[in-house]
Amino acid sequence: MTAPAPARPTARTRFHPLTVTAVDPAAADASAARITLRVPDGLRTLFAFTPGQHLTVRAALHGAETRRSYSLCSTPAELERDGTLRIGVRAVPGGRFSHYATRLLQPGEDLHARPATGRFTTTIPAGRPRRIAALAAGSGITPLLSLLTAVLDTEPQSTVTLLYGNRCADAAMFTEELADLKDRHRHRIRVLHVFSREDQRAGLATARLDHRGLRALLPRLLPAGADEWFVCGPPGMVAAAELVLADLGVAPAAVHTEQFTAAAPAPAPAPAPAPRPHAAGGDTARMCELTVRLDGRSSTVRVPVGTNVLDAALSARPETPYSCRSGVCATCRAKVVLGRAQCPGTPALGADEVAEGYVLTCRSTAPDERLTVDYDAL
């Protein structure tokens, strides 16, 4: 069996050119940039998003397509009002895309993007008063800026407490935006900065958002707790926060987490290996018949057992969504509806999602003769 001709991407899986209108520093030490993108009127509905989601963007760098996922720091109201989106990009040592985005990208150029995805979000009803707690480290503030701004602007009775950790003050992102947010909602938001490489001048018991630091800070900062918790940062900080919140009796359903990694992402995938021909008088390699459901259509390809599921899916459907290929962004999430996929544990998926059969295809392999994955499953 051979793979069918690739289907044309739909509007949601296609990359669309968005014009860059501004590239501004997002940190005093110039380690991060805030990139503003203009969305054409005809695409505003397609690019509608909920606070906390991210965009997958791509560019041709050094002759190769490079994709990355970056969180939105703007709000849906800005898209509706001004037709703009903003993402925050932290420069990563050795990072090709982050160097391009923070040092070379210029206003007037186009950056290709797919509509927003991600589950690090919440519903924001105007009439519901809530106590929101947010823990951020480094660039983890990016989706939280969108979330907290939307909550404060939309829910007039809700309050927000933000604990934000960085190496030093100059490395903190969006300090001006946070200051503006405090000015607009003076009595409903508290922001506490924690710096691990500077002297603390606020009488804090710790300068790190690790298990010990969070265990000391949270009962003092939020003695009455919170209705919802949002945690975004590197894996160690997120894991520590989950443990501390569990120790404090916070229900898992009230905790939303997203983590990032500063490790260099894996290169773009190579095409799935071609099936091996039959050898006269001998056995052939075990083959897997992989079916991919995407955008309401199914495509099937035969690949050797043990092939990476995303690589195989891309060989049949080049528009298959992916970004980081390191199991962090969850852009390649799909549901196993027939057969099984071997996928090592990843914090990008919740226990309930794993129980329901969801996998990250970038980290999964096909161990048997038949497998069907559904990228359309919500």
| Residue-level pLDDT at 267 | 44
| Residue-level pLDDT at 228 | 96
State pLDDT tens for residues 31-76.
999 999 999 999 999 999 999 999 999 999 988 889 999 999 999 9
Q: Are strands 110-113 and 16-25 parallel, antiparallel or unpaired?
A: antiparallel
Q: Say which residue the tokens 């998003």 belong to.
A: 49
State pLDDT tens for residues 298-343.
999 999 999 999 999 999 888 888 887 878 788 899 999 999 999 8
33 & 139 share domain? no
> Does 273 map to a domain?
no
State pLDDT tens for residues 186-208.
899 999 999 987 665 544 545 68
Please tell me the number of Cα atoms within 13 Å of 263 on its side-chain side: 13
154 & 204 share domain? yes
Share the mean pLDDT of the chain: 87
163 & 245 share domain? yes
Q: If pLDDT is split at 50, 70 and 90, which confidence band does 264 have?
A: very low
147 & 51 share domain? no
Q: Is the CB of residue 23 less than 8 Å from the CB of residue 107? A: yes
> Does 167 map to a domain?
yes
Q: Which is nearest to 98 in space by CA: 32, 38, 144, 142? A: 32
Q: Is the CB of residue 76 less than 8 Å from the CB of residue 151? A: no
294 & 250 share domain? no
227 & 306 share domain? no
Which of 73-82, 155-164, 256-265, 347-356 is predicted least confidently? 256-265
Please report, rounded to a whole number, the percentage of residues in the chain having pLDDT higher than 90. 68
Q: Which is nearest to 27 in space by CA: 195, 136, 139, 137? A: 139
Between 351 and 302, name the one with better pLDDT.
Answer: 302
Q: Is the CB of residue 142 less than 8 Å from the CB of residue 70? A: yes
State pLDDT tens for residues 273-284.
444 433 333 435
> What is the residue range of 336's domain?
287-374
- Cα separation, 334 vs 359, whole angstroms: 6
108 & 162 share domain? no
| Residue-level pLDDT at 277 | 36
Q: Is the CB of residue 339 less than 8 Å from the CB of residue 370? A: yes
Q: Please say which residue of 113, 143, 172 terminates a domain.
A: 113
146 & 234 share domain? yes
Q: Please say which residue of 80, 113, 146 terminates a domain.
A: 113
142 & 222 share domain? yes
Between 12 and 321, name the one with better pLDDT.
Answer: 321
Q: Kindly report the pTM of this predicted structure.
A: 0.79
97 & 139 share domain? no
Q: How many domains does the chain have?
A: 3
| Residue-level pLDDT at 275 | 41
328: CATH: 3.10.20.30
88 & 151 share domain? no
> Does 269 map to a domain?
no
